[in-house]
Amino acid sequence: MITETTMLYLYTETPLHAGTGSGLSSIDLPIQRERTTQYPMIQGSGIKGKLRATIEGDRKLLSDEQRNLVNIIFGPSSEEGKGNEHAGALIAGDARILLFPVRSLDGVFAYTTSYDVLNRFRRDIERGQNTSLSWNVPTGIKDKALITTASDVQSNNMLVLEEFSFETQSDPAVDQIASWIAENALPTFGTDAYWSAKVKSSLVILPNDDFRDFVLYATEIITRVRISRETKTVERGALWTEEHLPTDTLLYVPIYATNARKDGSTMKAKEVLAQAKTLAKEQGSFLQLGGDETVGRGMVRTRWGS
């Protein structure tokens, strides 16, 4: 039974390709998306596996105590032939979109979100942590882009994202949302308060349909080739395109915990979460997710919720 929850926030610092294999569209290797909304997502199994691999490192170098702790949190290792003994106590949900960067005529880029995304986030965090957020999603304004009261991405009450223009309206509620995200979800970058201020001056709440179109058609498409070792030229037929989540995307992952399921262990769910956070922070604030690790893709900075 799940008794403890938290959030894990993921901020992409390089383009991220969490793929689904071959696609049927013009993009050979598309990213994972939710079936109904078509929002980008990352499956929880991949996130849990990467957390384990990062925390575990070289399993042979772990002490018996450390190995036992990893097994309690994530489940026993199949390499040891004990993979079916018990389940892990940590549960990772799918990573969902919270902020999506879009090229802007003013302010370089805007952090965009939507009414639907914010309401889903409220539902996820309030269900899991049994707490109320300090902000509410604005209602009743569906035909304008809502911005902060001191926005850097609009001019003369107009906002231009990619090739599309929107009439804007400032709203103090957007300030509250931007401040909460900057203080509670954005990782620490070590660059003073630049990125925190960027969120507070560049957050835009778009109408739902417009946001969906941007996350569908404003992702980063990278063309890649494979070079022949012998001729040092492109191999025949070895040209393909990959879809990536762009740099500066913010996602959130619901993390849940149960009491330890291993026989003989008395570890409670609260301690499971605390141990997972501690072990993850000991390995640094970065994870590498998705494919193309050797060409620098998928570097994300993490932040654990309180």
Q: DSSP string spanning 58-72?
A: SGGGS-HHHHHHHHH
The structure's pTM equals: 0.91
Weakest-pLDDT range from 6-20, 53-67, 213-227: 53-67
- In terms of Cα–Cα distance, which of 86, 67, 66, 64 is closest to 75? 86
Q: Report residue 214's pLDDT band, with 50, 70 and 90 as the boundaries.
A: very high
* Mean pLDDT of all residues in 184-201: 87
Q: Would residue 112 be called left, alpha or beta, if left means φ above 0 and alpha means ψ between -120 and 50 degrees?
A: beta
Query: Does pLDDT of 163 surpass 80?
Result: yes
pLDDT digits (tens, 9 = 90+) for 240-284: 889 999 999 999 999 999 998 888 888 898 999 998 888 887 667
Q: Report residue 70's pLDDT band, with 50, 70 and 90 as the boundaries.
A: confident
Give, in degrees to the nearest 5, the angle at Cα 300 between 294 and 306.
Answer: 150
Query: Does pLDDT of 81 surpass 60?
Result: no
Query: Does pLDDT of 235 surpass 80?
Result: no
The predicted pLDDT at position 7 comes to 93
State the DSSP H helix or E strand holding residue 276, giving kind and residue range, or none if neither. Answer: helix 269-282
Residue spans per domain, the chain = 1-18+44-93+245-306, 99-218
* Mean pLDDT of all residues in 138-142: 79
Q: Answer yes or no: CATH 3.30.1490 is held by domain 1-18+44-93+245-306.
A: no
- In terms of Cα–Cα distance, which of 89, 93, 113 is closest to 101? 113
Q: Report residue 2's pLDDT band, with 50, 70 and 90 as the boundaries.
A: confident
